Amino acid sequence: MHDEWCLKDQEAQLMILLALKKVGQKCIYHTQTSKDSWDCLKTRYSTGGDRRRRPRRRRDRVPDRGDPHRGSGGSVIRDVIGETLYPQLFAQAEVVRWRMQDIPWRRLDRGAVSDALRQLVREIAFSEMTTATATRRFLTDFPDDIDLTQWIAVWFYEETKHPDVLLRWLRQVGVVVDDRFVHHGRATAPFMRSRMGTLVTNVISEMVASTGYVALRDRSPEPVLGQIAGRLAADEARHCASFYQYARRHLERSRDPDRERRDALKILFMWFHSNELVSHPVSEFFQRHQVAFDITTVRDRVSRLIGLLIGLELTGSSDLGQHLSRLGAKP
């Protein structure tokens, strides 16, 4: 019951974040539940926008060596726990932590598992293997960002559980994988030179993953897999919100915010044109089985979120090339 509540509450928090303009988003950065978010917003707006109640501006300006667009700057974090994002994100993660033994393995219905479902889960587990490589890149490419790199440790732990729980499910239904599966799965696309681009890429991929798992949770013919997908969906939604906060912070502290906005928009533009979502294993599975998977809704949600991040009203049908031109970049 508590787990179900946590899952729904994380989704509710993400929906609140999506629905808010920039000022409102800042207001709920430090909340842990949707009720906290509502209370915070109530306080914020019932006092006529009293700025004294807003959280203190963070000051951990650090040299951004991994980003060629940034110069060096002074490093000032006077209170590592009080002035960074990760303690709150860590606290949120601790509240909703799930354990491998929480999965009701004994209820697994092998008769409901088709070869196509086995193949789907195998593909998803494979796509979840990239975190090990991505974590190494985060630690090497963002070495001066102690806030993000601290949180990446939490993210890495949680993401490691995703392929693991899927492989355990597969083993229960007769599928085992060897170490080559893991090695091949760990290969990932190189990081971008733009930190904003990297963060936005992760915002998008976490939201796509969350949407896919929600679909799997709702439509899985096997109940234990449905439960696993529900837990993963909640994790991914929270990861999306966390990367969003780091992207927002990066933009706020940038010496060239328009360049960051352009980088974010370019990522969205590329995602629109790469067909990545269409080739996602979950959507492919549903297409193969003539189950409607609403790609338009996912595009809309992703576009709205990135639009909120960079201060543009975007939808899934926005002309991103035009927006890029206005920001002074060629798509």
* 239 belongs to the binding site for Fe ion (CB under 5 A): yes
* 236 belongs to the binding site for Fe ion (CB under 5 A): yes
SS3 content of the chain, % helix, strand, coil (to 5): 70, 0, 30
Could you tell me the smallest distance in angstroms from the CB atom of residue 52 to Fe ion?
36
DSSP string, 30-93: T-SSHHHHHHHHHHHHHTTS-GGGSPPPP------TT-TT--------S-TTTS-SHHHHHHHH
Of 213, 245, 211, 238, give the one whose Cα is nearest residue 227: 213
Could you tell me the smallest distance in angstroms from the CB atom of residue 127 to Fe ion?
9
Could you tell me the smallest distance in angstroms from the CB atom of residue 316 to Fe ion?
22
Q: Is the dihedral of CA 304, 309, 313, 318 positive or negative?
A: negative
Could you tell me the smallest distance in angstroms from the CB atom of residue 121 to Fe ion?
13
Which residue, 162 or 299, is less far from Fe ion as judged by CB?
162
Which residue, 206 or 263, is less far from Fe ion as judged by CB?
206
Q: Find the binding residues for Fe ion in span 161-180 (CB under 5 A).
A: 162
Which residue, 155 or 272, is less far from Fe ion as judged by CB?
155
Which residue, 40 or 228, is less far from Fe ion as judged by CB?
228
* 217 belongs to the binding site for Fe ion (CB under 5 A): no
Question: How large is the greatest C-alpha to C-alpha distance in the chain, in angstroms?
Answer: 61
Tokens of 226: 């449905």
Could you tell me the smallest distance in angstroms from the CB atom of residue 313 to Fe ion?
27
How far apart, in whole angstroms, are the C-alpha atoms of residue 149 and residue 140?
9
SS3 sequence, 44-59? HHHCCCCHHHCCCCCC
Could you tell me the smallest distance in angstroms from the CB atom of residue 177 to Fe ion?
17
* 238 belongs to the binding site for Fe ion (CB under 5 A): no
Which H/E stretch holds residue 185? helix 179-186
Which residue, 128 or 263, is less far from Fe ion as judged by CB?
128
* 195 belongs to the binding site for Fe ion (CB under 5 A): no
Tokens of 24: 């409102």
Q: Find the binding residues for Fe ion in span 123-142 (CB under 5 A).
A: 128
Which residue, 6 or 312, is less far from Fe ion as judged by CB?
6
Local structure of 322: helix, strand or coil: helix
Which residue, 40 or 121, is less far from Fe ion as judged by CB?
121
* 64 belongs to the binding site for Fe ion (CB under 5 A): no
Closest residue to Fe ion, judged by C-beta, is: 239
* Residue ranges that bind Fe ion, judged by CB under 5 A: 128, 159, 162, 206, 236, 239
